[in-house]
Amino acid sequence: MFVKAAPRRHPLTRLPALLLACGALLAAVGARAATPTEAQRAAFKQAWAAAQQGGDGWRAWTTQLRNYPLYPYLPAAALEHDIRQTDLATVQAYLRQYPDLIPAQDLHRDFLLELARRKDWNGFLALYQPGMGDTLACDALQARMASGAKLDFDTDLATLWSRPELPGACDPVLQVAYGQGLLTPSRLWARIDRAAEAGKGGTIAVLAPWLPAPQNEEAQRLAQALRDPAAALASAVSWPDTSRARQAATLALERQARRDTNAADAAWQQLQARFTFSTTQRDAILRVLALFHATDFDTNALDRLIALPAAAQTAATREWRARVALAEQDWPAVLAAIAAMPATQQQDSEWRWFRARALAATGHPEQARGIYEDLAGDATFYGFLAADQLKQSYAICPLAPVEDLPQEQALLQQPGLLRAFELYAVDLPKLARREWARALDGADAHTRELAAELANRRGWFDRAVFTFTYGDTLRYYALRFPLASQDGLVAQARQAGIDPAWAYGILRSESAWVSDARSGADARGLMQLVPATAALVARRNGLPWAGDDSLYDPTVNIALGTRYLAQLALRYNGMPWLTSAAYNAGPNRVDQWVDARNALPPDLFIATMPFKETREYVARVMAFSVIYDWRMHGSALPMSDRLTPFGQPYALPDSLTPRKTVDCPAPPPPAPTSSVQVPAGTASAAGGASAAPAAAGSIPPAPAASHRR
């Protein structure tokens, strides 16, 4: 717990002199220093809490924090809090003392924003440096204009003008540019087209009034097509058949298809005779209509996709041709759809699996077996399914990094990395990640790997997850799939009545072990719980609830996350694969899919879920569950046992549940390249396949809103 901060004094009266005086005292900061102590960390936490309240109360801990690597963060935090009262000299003093540190970078940017707010343009120009982002670039132009300078388009605006969207700080600059006659119609249309391509209807609406009539009306149609496609399509029947009107109608049809496919289809039937759409526009419209009829599994969706012109076909339309065929369990159509894909798309593990399934269903078991055997060498969702089909062990071939103690010691003396480790140790993970990224910017792969190992030993697990994403590093399973016993997941999962390996798989997929992860939907922490949901789960289960930010505490997050998983599982007969889908897409969506397609086997149901994110999420969680099960027990519950069909109860595994063995098959001997014979049975020095398994553990994206396709 933080102690009460010392009494505040006014931040401006003594700070510049104190900064300079402390500079001599703390000259060794950033140089090679003694290993930080727990006492220093405790003192820093107290000083940090005080610094965030502003003033100089934090200085009560200065003596204890002499030479501590994070000391520069303290005066910067106090200055940030008091930034509206801080003067230029104080900030410049700090920047001179710590010119290369992240808190100096932040203070530099934030004080420039404050100077712009004050309209202190002289002070702004004294501190500004180019390359600090669009907002400050526009503020700098305002500062120059305040001193009477004229704008030059090529020098001042060309780079900004290329952006599809600009911050509000640029509005006064663009207004002046328009007044100077710099924003010609051709320049306006160039930016409008970029904004249209990026879907930025708001940008177009701002620019449209600067165009002469009737061009401004044409631009407004484009803005409406992006912002309110239904209204645009309703009024399009009275638009003239011009190039810009056709562009707007095409955009509106594409947007509306995503929202209401049938309404878009009806509008297309009405407008296709009115406008002389180009072949490219017609293809785009037909493609998006066919695609979203497919994601809705509408009647004739498969015929629509097959009938698309070759130029209108994309990877998405080809894969949805296969998905619709899978939903209909039309195996010859599945084979035809996969055959229509480019070779690279056919090699995706999902389509190899379903090609084997289709071959087996159409009387070609030997061809199917060959594909299963190839897939079964991968530690992936479909690889595990293929191994189950063949009744084989799972092929998981672990590796461990090679030790390099001298390089590790050198890394521990790197000031930036030391600051990163310290920030993590004092519970400031966001700042720690920034220091980490800067410290390792430009580092070679070996250095990054060693740093990730060092972080892992300190309980900073997500560094390894994000580092080991390629080649043989995918086989560093102990690092990529940590078992963090201190967070209590196993005990909490068992108390909740769910499989701990599955709970680990959810956690790893949701946050990649980033304890302070926060999504755009405000889902927080390791298991990505929305505060309102977490509060309800806490109340229902009699668990303590200390507010939204308590979800960043791993023990709190895991206790609530496992209970929420158990609550969802009850809704879906305990089935972990379907519960995983509901955890990602929401139970209401999943209920709709179940009502429509509950006759499908689990693998087909997963493949026909309309949200790409959810399909990949379920496959990832299930594969991670197998890997975590193996890590915990040395063997794994078969994937096929995890994919309980609709109508069958799911049996929670326990210590007596039969599990599948895991081994690492030796790779086949390499083909001879000369007359020298290769001895039979030669294996790699690593004792396993030299090729890395496919991405059973690829790093998930930051949680985002689900979308169709």
Specify the DSSP element, H or E, that contains 702: none
How many angstroms from the chain centroid is the CA of residue 524? Answer: 14
Tokens of 311: 């130029």
**Catalytic residue from among 319, 449, 453, 510:** 510
Tokens of 153: 């388009």
Q: According to DSSP H, which parts of 148-260 are helical?
A: 158-161, 171-179, 185-197, 201-207, 215-227, 229-236, 243-259
Tally Cβ neighbours within 10 Å of residue 540: 11
The whole-angstrom separation of Cα 607 and Cα 553 is 35
Give the end-to-end CA distance of the chain in Å, rounded to a whole number: 48
The whole-angstrom separation of Cα 264 and Cα 195 is 23
Q: What's the 3-state SS for 53-93?
A: CCCCHHHHHCCCCCCCCCCCHHHHHHHHHCCCCCCHHHHHH
How many angstroms from the chain centroid is the CA of residue 621? Answer: 16
Considering only CA atoms, which of 107, 45, 55 is closest in space to residue 76? Answer: 107
Q: Within 13 Å, how many C-alpha atoms sit on residue 470's CB side?
A: 5
Tally Cβ neighbours within 10 Å of residue 659: 18
The whole-angstrom separation of Cα 350 and Cα 556 is 36
Active site residue 510: yes
The whole-angstrom separation of Cα 459 and Cα 426 is 12
Angstrom distances, CA of residue 690 to CA of 271, 472, 481, 705: 57, 8, 21, 37
> Which are the catalytic amino acids?
510
